[in-house]
Structures are given as structure tokens and as C-alpha cells.
Amino acid sequence: MDSTEDFSPYRSDGKLYGFVCVVTGASQPVGQAIIEELAACDSPPSQQTFSTQISSLASSNPNTKIVPYPFDTATEDSTLTLIDEILANYGRLDVWVCSSALLGPASIFDTTATDLTKCFEAHALAPFFALKHAPAAMGKLLTEKGSYPNAVQKQQQYGSIVVVGSVAGTYGGCWGPSYTMAAHAALGVVRSGVAVLKGTGVRINGVSVGQVDVGVELGEGDVKGMNLQFPPASLQTKEAQKKAIGLERAGRPQEVARVAGFLASGFSSYITGANLVVDGGASNFKMSAPPILSRTSQTDILSTCQTYSLTPQEFTSLASHATSSKSLSYSPYSKFRVGCVLLTKSGDYITGANVENASYPVTTCAERTAFCKAITSGHAPGSFKAVAVATDISPPASPCGMCRQCIREFCDLEIPIIMFDGGDGYSVSRLKELLPLSFGPDSLGVPDPSKPAEK
């Protein structure tokens, strides 16, 4: 039987005709949007509470029945119990959408083994248990038509498992390490599922989601004591989205839901093991456009300090020294002032500014001025904790290619480079992000500059 015809997703009385679907994470905006996408193709997503949503959908889509279920996605027993109840009540199972998620701490130094375990449970255990137990239930065929609305006999083995995850599972670095590792694990379930499901008629696919506007204004305050579980508020600004996202805006829950609905339906009958990236093109901008943060935002500063192992006082001092160093710039030709400051692991601050020359190639950048001063003052390679540069332009300017190579000579690839603009904005990148596939002292057999020199 041709599943593309038998399971056409668009019917006048229901999006997935006669299907029985499980959606986890249904109390969250994306999960709610997925429920509405599976319920009816023309129903707008609801921003109401889950209980109100059920009543609303029952009225607008009378042939769709939504059953709330207290389900612990991280336990195998709960998964088996749910599947047994579904088969007992409805006689079939067709779609399983996993959309639960947890961010975890932003910094590895604040991440405990418990935090990591919780992230893996939220991201990867639910898809794992679905992959392990749902296919057998999806392969059961009805001998009699059920009594529920839209019930039809299941005449072939069919099923679709959809894992809604994060773009952190495709390239990482979106948030903290536990979030990135768990997102990769979820995508690993999708990849491994292709061989597991061979011959079952069941498909498994992933949806990697980027920034989505879920209707929560982060602002400057704590969000139910969970300020460390959210990205910086500045990422919500229209300016930040325009710079970092190809479509210049955050996504909407229903846009994620439509992709999940496509993967659940027969329109995707020949797609399995795929991962559809739904991020508005942001992943293509990741390397070249780090988000613009604000020096006046305590949330941004706290997040930066946690991510890059700095104290708020160190951050403030880096900003002050880098900005004040611009006044020492000798730039009569370009009029482009640059200030730089190096923070050593011993707590010293070494400043520098760009020094131009009538013979342009003789010009020395602020970063190289600072490093020459530091090295000739006795600071050893590998003894630096952070580098900050400041200019008068916006968005923040990054070190030039020559300076990136200079930094590579004396610093660990993990060192943060903080770039301040002429106002309150700043951005941060690690050296490895600014200088990928770099050539350094270790390439010539010289000891790693991040390790203390032997005496």
C-alpha cells in the first residue's frame, strides 16, 4: 500500500486521519503548537493554558480528542505503561513526538554531574525509550475499527518518531556544555534509529530548532529563580536577531510544529534518519556574528562571566582598561582608535594601543603592542586569562588576522576575546572561533602555551 496516499496529512475533518499520537512537553509553547498542528491543519496556535487549549480544540476540531497524561518521559516504566494504555483504549499507535528540553547551567564550572544527568534525561532518554518500545506498538494492525472519532483500521505497519531538539546538537556552543552534549545525544538517537527500525515501517527524524519566541520577556529580572537557565535577554532584541539570523527574526512555535507535522505525516514517507534545521539560517552566521550583548545588562555580564570563568570585577576592569587605552592611540592617518588589555592569570592588566606610521606596514596594532609589553615584562606564554579590545565603532570590531595569529602564539585557544564597541555593546568569542584550523607553536613541536613553562 502506498503510504503517501493512505496517510495524506490533509483531510477535511483532521490533519492525521485516524492517527493516535503522543506529544511530550505539551505544557510548553512548542509542544502546544505541535498538538494543534496534528489536530487540524487550519487551526491557529494557542497561547492559552494547556487545559484551556483542550477545550478550545475540542470545540474547533470535534473529531480530535486530546487526552492529558501525567507522563515521566525519563523512565522506562512510564513509557511502557503509556503504550499499554494507548493500545488498550485505541488499538493503535502512529506518531510519537518528543519535545521536552532543559538548558542546564551556562558554565561548565557551574555544571554538576546531576545537571548533566538531568539534561540527558530531558533530551535523550525520552527519544531512546520511544525508539525502544514504540515501534512494536506502531506495528500492530487493527482487526476492528475503533469507536473514537476518525477511527480507521490500520492496514499496514506505519509509524513516525519525531525528536524535536536544538541546533546545539549540530554545531554546539549555543549555551552550556550539558545542553550541547544532551542535544548531540538526542540527535544520536535519531541517527542510530535508522538501523534499529529497519523492516518495521517506522521512521525516525529530528528537528533541530534555533531561537524561538515563546512569548517570555526575559528582561533584567530573574525568571522564577531560573535566570541561569535562559540565554542573555539581549538575544531577544530585534537588533540582535537581525544581525545573527538569516531571516532576521526569531521563529514561532507553529513554524516548528509545521515541520514536526510534516515528519509525522505521509508527505515525508521516504524520509528517515534526517535532521531538519529550523533556525532561520542562524547556523550559517554563527562563526561570523556572535550576539551583541550589553554592558549595562547585569544578566548579560553574569552570563558572560559564568561562561568564560571571569568575575564581574574582572569584566568591569577589562572594559574600563580597554576603553581608556584608546586615548593612548597614535592614529593620525586612519583616525581609528583601538585599545587593548590583557588579563593575566595572576590578576595583572597589561594595556596597549595602536601605533601608526607614515610607512603603513610599520604600524603596530593595539593587541600586538600589549603582548610585546607583556612578554618583555616577564609574563610567560600561557599566562593570560582574557583579552579585551575596544574601538569607537558599532558593532564591535574583532582583532585583525595578524593579531589573531599573535594571540595564538601566546594564548590557549579557549581564551575569551571580548570586543567592546563605542557604546554599551560588546561581543565575546573564543580564540578557536576567531582562528579555526590555526597554526601555532605546537605545530612546530614547541610546548603548548597554555601549559606552564618548565623551569
pLDDT of the chain along its 455 residues, tens only?
Answer: 344 344 444 444 434 567 888 888 877 788 888 887 776 433 333 334 445 555 665 565 555 555 555 566 678 998 999 899 888 888 888 899 998 777 887 777 778 899 899 889 888 998 999 999 999 999 887 656 666 666 677 777 789 999 999 888 887 666 778 888 999 999 999 999 999 999 998 999 999 998 887 654 444 443 333 444 445 545 566 766 776 778 888 888 889 999 998 898 888 889 999 999 998 887 776 555 577 889 998 888 998 999 999 999 999 999 999 999 999 999 999 999 999 999 999 999 999 999 999 999 999 999 999 999 999 999 999 999 999 999 999 889 999 999 999 999 999 999 999 999 999 999 999 999 899 888 888 888 776 655 555 55
Listed as own residue / partner, the contacts of 268-273 with beta carbons closer than 8 Å and 24 or more positions apart are 268/160, 268/203, 268/205, 269/3, 269/4, 269/7, 269/203, 271/203, 271/205, 272/193, 272/194, 272/197, 272/203, 272/204, 272/205, 273/190, 273/191, 273/193, 273/194, 273/204, 273/205
* 400 labelled binding-site residue: yes
The answer to whether the peptide bond before residue 395 is cis (omega within 30 degrees of 0) is yes
CA gap 240, 153 in Å, rounded: 51
Q: In terms of DSSP H, where are the helices of 70-162?
A: 76-90, 113-120, 126-138
* Cβ atoms within 10 Å of 212's Cβ, excluding its own: 19
Under DSSP, the state recorded for 121 is: I
Torsion angle, alpha carbons of 87, 90, 96, 100, to 10: -90
Alpha-carbon separation of residue 364 from 30, 261, 353 (angstroms): 51, 57, 9
Q: Phi first, then psi: give them for residue 290, nearest 5 degrees.
A: -65, 155
Give the helix/strand (H/E) hosting 208.
strand 202-209
* 358 labelled binding-site residue: yes
Cell of 430: 573564543
Q: Phi first, then psi: give them for residue 311, nearest 5 degrees.
A: -95, 155
Q: Looking at 283-324, which runs of residues are DSSP E strands?
A: 293-294
| pLDDT of 87 | 86
Active site residue: 367, 414, 433, 454, which one? 367
CA gap 21, 38 in Å, rounded: 8
* 359 labelled binding-site residue: yes
Bridge partners of 387? 342, 417
What value does the CA radius of gyration of the chain take, rounded to a whole number of Å?
A: 27
5 is catalytic: no
DSSP-based three-state secondary structure for 198: coil
CA gap 246, 280 in Å, rounded: 6
- Quick one: which of 11, 18, 15, 12 has its CA closest to 155? 18
| pLDDT of 368 | 97
User: pTM for the full model?
Assistant: 0.61
Cell of 451: 601549559
| pLDDT of 373 | 97
* 158 labelled binding-site residue: no
* 209 labelled binding-site residue: no
CA gap 145, 418 in Å, rounded: 64
Contacts of 439 (CB under 8 A, 6+ apart): 405, 408
Cell of 249: 527574526
CA gap 160, 264 in Å, rounded: 5
* 354 labelled binding-site residue: yes
Torsion angle, alpha carbons of 31, 34, 238, 420, to 10: 50
* 355 labelled binding-site residue: yes
The CA-to-CA distance between both ends of the chain, in Å, stands at: 76
